[in-house]
Amino acid sequence: MLIAFNKPFGVLSQFSSGKDDSPHPTLSGFGLPPKIYPAGRLDRDSEGLLLLTDDGRLQARIAEPRHKMPKTYLAQVEGVPDDAALALLRSGVELKDGTTRPALVEAIEPLPELWDRDPPIRVRKSVPDSWVRLTITEGRNRQVRRMTAAAGYPTLRLVRWQIGEWSCEGLALGESRVIQG
């Protein structure tokens, strides 16, 4: 079984917080079927597509970096990236844990219709924001956020839109759908 889930901001991508008094909601509150597990992770501060499966081989194919499955993110960033920043993101960014693989990156306008985030991002009247679409083939911890920050444009909101051939298009926030039975 393979399930697409549109993970809300603030939700942990696991079924138990490991703490009885954790203030963060988990996947257990969304009526997902038993005995499925996330294929990869999506941090608490990020939203969007999370794939879940009961098939260990499929889980490995989706999550393990050696398979280089593309993951596409929509990132709302502080400022408007110039051509040099976009070129840096495309060629690979030097991070503390090494240089990232080249990414597909483009400024996007207009933005695909997204749900409202709760809570909304902080807005600074003196600093514009914009959106970029990034497709990466590795999955380092908070990678997209670290990449945009290294290019000089910190991420304000991050939505994983697509993993491989699967996307969260048409999937309401907190909703899931069976992709493969």
Contacts of 138 (CB under 8 A, 6+ apart): 65, 68, 100, 101
Distance CA 48, CA 5 (A): 8
Q: Has this prediction a pTM greater than 0.75?
A: yes
Mean pLDDT of 152-161: 96
Q: Contact 77/148 with Cβ under 8 angstroms? A: yes
| pLDDT mean over 53-65 | 89
Q: What is the pLDDT of residues 6-29, one digit of tens each?
A: 999 999 999 887 666 678 899 999
Amino acid at 107: A
The residues that bridge with 71 in the sheet, in sequence order, are: 136, 163
Percent of the chain with pLDDT over 90: 73
Q: What are the residue boundaries of the structural domains of the chain, listed by start?
A: 1-65+165-181, 70-163
Q: State the chain's mean pLDDT as an integer.
A: 92
pLDDT exceeds cutoff 90 at 67: no
Does a cis peptide bond (omega within 30 degrees of 0) precede residue 102? no
- Answer whether residue 124 shows pLDDT above 70: yes
Q: Which CATH class is domain 1-65+165-181?
A: alpha beta
Beta strands in 27-154 (DSSP E): 37-38, 47-53, 71-78, 94-95, 98-99, 104-107, 129-136
Same fold, 1-65+165-181 and 70-163: yes
Retrieve residue 168's tokens. Answer: 């969260």
Lowest mean pLDDT across 32-46, 114-128, 138-152: 114-128
Average pLDDT over residues 59-80: 90
Share of the chain above pLDDT 70, in %: 97
pLDDT in the model for residue 112: 72
pLDDT beyond 70 at 47: yes
* Superfamily (CATH H level) for 70-163: Alpha-L RNA-binding motif (3.30.70.1560)
User: Would the pLDDT of 51 be above 90?
Assistant: yes
Q: Residue 114 burial by CB count (10 A; 0-12/13-18/19+): exposed, middle or buried?
A: middle
SS3 29: helix
User: With 80 as the cut, is the pLDDT of residue 78 above it?
Assistant: yes
Question: Could you give the residue numbers annotated as active site?
Answer: 43
